[in-house]
Structure 1
């Protein structure tokens, strides 16, 4: 398992400049203009980096190689989901750090004081996106990876306004007092777990 995780991050090393490019572009685009920039920078950077790793798998034919090794397909999928979680945390915390610096260096941007929701909400959204993306990626793999990424890119852009409205509603609610709001993260965790089992099932049946 550890070696599979190392493989993903070694493969990402050659494209690491792309991750920081995502972070830089999204920060420059959203921070001066959007009150919800901390959410969008984290979400776009994290999910963009996840798709970057999956495309590296396609480009290098990693799945064809991995299935010849003494590792199970279950372990391959587990490693990919763990990698997605790590990258999600990196993207969201990097966004939080950049916004913390921007608030000090550029007070004219009038950034608000961020609560724990500024970390939890983007993590939840990226995990939800990953839950949809991973089964599709492993089901369609090389034949449909480019199409999947294009569809998700368009969907994320077109859904940015509804997501912004939803985030604003969540921010206005007292999450600790409104117990119904606690079902949202619980539901996302269950969807993420279900996605893992679905992905594992699809990949185990796939002829490579």
Structure 2
């Protein structure tokens, strides 16, 4: 599984620069009330899709299918990698916030303060997106699942905007609400695991090239 995860990062090595540029644009030049969510959450989502697109272009599954590894390992590696993608998003968010603090001496840093609630929400959205994306990818194939995923990103941006406004108005209540602080991340992880089991069931019935 280690080599499968390593393969993901080797394939995406040039896309990390794109993610860094994206974080710079939305975290510095186009700041908004939900910049921290955008900077921490959308890079892992884009990396999921980039990796899938690269696999389709290079027909990587046909090669992976010849290796002495199980389909369970292939699917497990995909889902474990999501946590590393999210960690990259967190690092970008912290780096952009530090850059804003340094450049503007704290006066014009990110409009929305980075809080535990922000981190938990971005984590939950990332897990939910992965839970949605991977079963579709294995069921429909990368070619069609990417179309659906790109459309869903625009809807997610709208949701993020709404969530950011709610956070701004009710942050004190939300951070003390146990269901929000613990329930939503726990629910997202539960759905993430259910998605893993579903993807595994789908993938074991498909040809590697599909």
- Measured against the shorter chain, the TM-score band is 0.7 to 0.9
- Give a deviation string over 1:170-204, Cα, whole Å, max 9, x none: 46144453222222111101000000000011000
Paired with 2:178 and 2:89, the residues of 1 have a C-alpha distance of: 28
Paired with 1:47 and 1:133, the residues of 2 have a C-alpha distance of: 9
Would the alpha carbon gap of residues 8 and 97 (structure 1) be closer, same or farther in structure 2, given more than 3 Å must change? same
1:146 is aligned to 143
1:189 is aligned to 189
Paired with 2:88 and 2:154, the residues of 1 have a C-alpha distance of: 21
Instruction: Say if 1:73 and 1:204, in contact at 8 Å, map to a contact too.
Output: yes
The one of the two structures with greater contact order (alpha-carbon pairs below 8 A, sep at least 6) is 2
- Give a deviation string over 1:139-171, Cα, whole Å, max 9, x none: 122xxx233223222222233233222244346
2:103 is aligned to 105
Cα deviation for residue 48 of structure 1 reads 0.6
Paired with 1:207 and 1:146, the residues of 2 have a C-alpha distance of: 15
Would the alpha carbon gap of residues 76 and 159 (structure 1) be closer, same or farther in structure 2, given more than 3 Å must change? closer
Paired with 1:39 and 1:169, the residues of 2 have a C-alpha distance of: 13
Matched, 1:127 2:127: yes
Aligned length: 202
Paired with 1:129 and 1:188, the residues of 2 have a C-alpha distance of: 9
2:19 is aligned to 22
Paired with 1:153 and 1:117, the residues of 2 have a C-alpha distance of: 26
Which consecutive residues of structure 2, in runs of 5 or more, have no partner in the other structure? none
1:48 is aligned to 46
Cα RMSD after superposing both structures: 2.1
Would the alpha carbon gap of residues 29 and 178 (structure 1) be closer, same or farther in structure 2, given more than 3 Å must change? closer
Which consecutive residues of structure 1, in runs of 5 or more, have no partner in the other structure? none
Paired with 1:158 and 1:132, the residues of 2 have a C-alpha distance of: 13
Would the alpha carbon gap of residues 121 and 87 (structure 1) be closer, same or farther in structure 2, given more than 3 Å must change? same
Would the alpha carbon gap of residues 102 and 110 (structure 1) be closer, same or farther in structure 2, given more than 3 Å must change? closer
Paired with 2:148 and 2:27, the residues of 1 have a C-alpha distance of: 22
Q: Secondary structure at the match of 2:176?
A: coil
Matched, 1:166 2:163: yes
Q: Secondary structure at the match of 2:204?
A: helix
Paired with 2:90 and 2:147, the residues of 1 have a C-alpha distance of: 22
